[in-house]
Amino acid sequence: MRHTSLSRRTLLRGTGALMALPLLEAMLPRTVRAETTAAPRRLAVFYVPCGIHMAKWTPSAAGQGWALTPTLQPLAPVKEDVLVLTGLSHWPGKPELNGHHAAGTAAFLTCAHARKTAGTDIYVGISMDQMLAKHLQGATRFPSLELGNDAGTGVRACDANYSCAYAYNIAWAGPSSPRPKETRPRAVFNRLFAGIDPGETQAQLEKRRMYGRSILDFVRDDARVLQGRLGATDRRKLDEYLTSVRELEGRIDELEPDGPVCQPGEAPANTDDVRAKTRAMMDLIVLAFQCDLTRVATFMLGNGRSDRVYDFLGLSDTHHTYSHHQRLQTNYEALAKIDRWEVEQYAYLLQRLKAVRETDGSTLLDSAFVYFGSEVEDGNAHGHTNMPVLLAGRGGGALTPGRHVRYSGEPISNLFISMMQGMGTNVSTFGDDGSGPLRDLKE
């Protein structure tokens, strides 16, 4: 192995462009390069709206012998990497009378009861992802990454006089400070990977895109010099990373062929291809983790109380309408299609994380906590018990996946305490009802 030393903050440079690098062996201190160095732990959150049809979700057997249900079937390739957690409650998401979707979404990661208001005096709590972002401040270029498919503003009521801010955000830096999500893949890409030299103008960025130039075209010479200084393992890892960046860049160009690079845009239209957009967002999370640009990412597949029409699944009504199923079989069947598609997207993220190797030989998924959930249990009853929860990864050894664990009403806030402790925080209480770590996450 060559004895090249690199800073963790090394960038590839070119005219008008900067590009971050993945974590390489050459970035580790010389004294530990020959030793096994634990990969950093990471959190990814995958939110889906309107609850789940639990009859086709819940495995019949607990423990390691659980079988994939129809809705969870897409998890087959990563079944041994997933914990199915049933019986957890989320009472802070219960609203004052009505407004379960907005109140539940506000409490999704805060585990705090939202103040009922349609005005600017919103108040809920800090979310667990932002607690982790503060704990990890300075470790990465970006403390956290907030992504989603659907934009929106919080300047009106969205659900029974609850502010839209509650329904449109799951990340809260403070009780009155939601962190808005980015819904444009190209904007995320440019923020994370392209970088901007201090002297580069918006016009230069747009000119690069107009002529079909890749960010890799601008940093190719620097990359070639760097590869000549690296050992075989690092050269392979760098080559895989650059290939992944270029492939994603190409898909994003197809998604947004005519849009500006970094200008604010309007909310995505209903005709946007949610399938391609979701996959692009998943790939961006994986690349951000691979590059160690952030260790905390959240993704909203839709806003709370989503009215998306899944026409590509052969459905003609909105998700929210189907969720009020009134125990009709046709609505159950529609929900099962939507739920299964949602799990397919989560499974895609897990498989992509599992395909990337860390410097210690583990995978990105091995070091991660990847949480899947919704704001309510069943969209018709608006339940806040027996919430649909998946937790994938091994959390660097904090989890024993491949099991179905049943609980008896323990709060989700206790699960979050366990996850935050697994990420290195000293927290022992959280939200309105979190009193300690959740049992049985590790055998």
Mean pLDDT of 418-436: 98
Q: Tokens at residue 398, please? A: 């904090």
The predicted pLDDT at position 252 comes to 62
Q: What is the DSSP letter of 438?
A: P
Could you give the CA distance from residue 171 to residue 72 in angstroms, rounded to a whole number?
26
Residues 11-34 have pLDDT tens digits of 666 555 566 666 677 776 654 444
Residues 358-414 have pLDDT tens digits of 878 899 999 999 999 999 999 999 999 999 999 999 999 999 999 999 999 999 999
- Is the confidence at residue 195, as pLDDT, over 80? no
Q: What residue segments make up the domains of the chain, in order of their start?
A: 44-52+92-183+267-389
Which phi and psi angles does 408 have, rounded to 5°? -125, 50
Residue 104 and residue 304 in contact, taking contact as beta carbons nearer than 8 Å = yes
Element (H, E) at 223: helix 215-229
Selected residue with higher pLDDT from 438 and 240: 438
The predicted pLDDT at position 227 comes to 76
Q: How many residues does the chain have?
A: 443
Q: What is the DSSP string of 292-333?
A: TS-SEEEEESS-TT---B-GGGT--SBHHHHHS-TT-HHHHH
Mean pLDDT of 415-437: 98
Q: State pTM to two decimals.
A: 0.81
The predicted pLDDT at position 4 comes to 59
Share of the chain above pLDDT 90, in %: 64
Q: Which residue has the tokens 């992944």?
A: 244
Average pLDDT across the chain, whole number: 85
CA 151, 179, 189, 355 dihedral sign is negative
Residue 129 and residue 121 in contact, taking contact as beta carbons nearer than 8 Å = no
Residue 382 and residue 91 in contact, taking contact as beta carbons nearer than 8 Å = no
- Is the confidence at residue 94, as pLDDT, over 70? yes
Among left, alpha and beta (phi > 0; psi -120 to 50; other), residue 382 is left
Give 212's pLDDT tier (boundaries 50, 70, 90).
Answer: very low
Angle in degrees, 0-180, between the axes of helices 329-354 and 274-290, rounded to the nearest 10: 30
Q: CB neighbours of 442 closer than 8 A, spacing ≥ 6?
A: 398, 399, 400
